[in-house]
Amino acid sequence: MDKKIKNTICLSGLKPERVWHYFGEITQIPHGSGNTKEISDYCVEFAKKHQLFYLQDESHNIIIKKPASPGAEQAPVTMLQGHLDMVCEQEKDSDLDMKKDGLKLYVEGDYISAEKTTLGGDDGIAVAMALAVLEDSELIHPPIEAVFTVDEEIGMLGAASLDKSVLSGTYLLNLDSEQEGSFLCGCAGGAKLTASFPLQEEENERISGEVEESEKLWVSLLVTGCIGGHSGAEIDKERANAIVLLGELLGKINRTIPFDLADLNGGGMDNAIARTAGARLRIRETDFSKLQALCGETTEIWKNEFRRTDGGIEIVLDHEIDQNPEISVYSKERKENLLFFMNVMPNGIEHFSADLPGMVETSLNVGILKTTREAVSFSFCIRSMVETRKEKLCERLQILTEHLGGTISISGSYPGWEFREESELRNCLVKVYEEQYRKQPQILVEHVGVECGMFMDAMEGLDGVSLGPDMEDIHTPRERLSISSVERVYTFLLEVLKQIAQRKSL
């Protein structure tokens, strides 16, 4: 049996059939951020097969246009929008190469997941629903512009580079939300900031200049067991960030045990709360038991502090490793500066909204810690609904980094999406929702980055809402997508398109 068929056979018989057909095909095409040409080309082939106009740009963004159903030619042009890339996270024991292999899917109750990896429901299900709409010749719908962007997960780079002058939409239905029954109508702006500290090639130093080579012991240190999660939607959950914890632990060790430091690494995505982080330490062999005891005490402290969120936190300490690694330790000055930075760098919630009680206004997340031959770098995802506070947070990190001999770079900056008091599209969605569900939906403004802000900023008068089916634990290997919710949301989407088709364009 073909590997792709084998890995999607669990979707057979699910409703809506064509949505799950396309979602299954999408999961078998590697499409992590920065690796989106193949999935983009797949959409091109879809457009060609169905004789639809398409435009694929150099970044691999793609626009597919479908004329209105008969009689709806004068209805408002409606954009269906989602992103092609996914966050690629996996468990340590996963043997999948997410740059080359399709996902291994399984169904458990009402949920679809992938074995030991992220599923990519964020945002594969949006693409699948849009393709199903574009394919169906029986639907009643307005003129449609399906817009699939790339590299949303690493700073909305595709939406930023897309030439929006070729779009004529009046309404924007973004399909990148993860909570059925909630309509997102505003969001924070954001940016990625990377703080880099240069390294110099040097000889491995003696500890305090006093220890014989035979007394030196290399150990690996790993903070693991953190639950992780989305750095916007779940920044208020008080979940542990492994990079922050590693800094705290190394600071404690530095106050009690002399050591050399090398190979700081952790996290995987700036917009995901880091689940693991580690380092190599060179200590005196006689200090190993003292280090074990300190790690044990710290683990118990963390298990108490994060008992409600990250009860599985562990510190894995190992000296059964290469005792002559081909890596250089950081200089004493660089080590002290790095430990200072890791212990005082801002992370988490900075401000709550004064206008929306309980809403996070400004935050940041350190999601990647990486050592190369040239530098040690920290990548942050910064979010705020107030542009000046986003700028101030970037400035604070710049001052701290430069004071310690580093440099910063800022990329992927995107605008926020301001809530509209009056929205024809939102009113339409609320009406259809109340008829289908017999209850009122929730109208939200959230602390997440959504591409709507990019389109609103470039297309004057555009009216937008973001919606989607229930998903849990996105950006983690525990990600799961509700089967029944997808069916309900797709039914809802079709009725919304039908209602828009009956309207006259302004």
Beta carbons of 105 and 10 less than 8 angstroms apart: yes
> What does the alpha-carbon distance between residue 64 and residue 178 come to, in Å, rounded to a whole number?
24
Beta carbons of 90 and 125 less than 8 angstroms apart: no
Torsion of CA 48, 49, 51, 53, to 10 degrees: -30
Name the residue among 37, 19, 17, 18 with its Cα closest to residue 29: 37
> What does the alpha-carbon distance between residue 271 and residue 391 come to, in Å, rounded to a whole number?
18
Length of the chain counted residue by residue:
506
Q: List the alpha helices (DSSP H) in 288-386.
A: 288-305, 332-344
Name the residue among 25, 24, 154 with its Cα closest to residue 88: 154
Sign of CA dihedral 81, 194, 89, 302: negative
> What does the alpha-carbon distance between residue 326 and residue 455 come to, in Å, rounded to a whole number?
49
The position carrying tokens 């604070």 is 396
Beta carbons of 476 and 89 less than 8 angstroms apart: yes
Q: How many CB atoms lie under 10 A from the CB of residue 442?
A: 12
Q: Please list the residues that pair with 351 across neighbouring strands.
A: 362
The position carrying tokens 């660089």 is 334
> What does the alpha-carbon distance between residue 501 and residue 22 come to, in Å, rounded to a whole number?
25
DSSP element (H, E) containing 430: helix 424-437
Beta carbons of 284 and 216 less than 8 angstroms apart: yes
Active site residues: 85, 152
| 466: Cα separation from own chain's centroid | 17
Strands 260-267, 277-284: pairing is antiparallel
Beta carbons of 273 and 349 less than 8 angstroms apart: no
Q: How many CB atoms lie under 10 A from the CB of residue 181?
A: 17
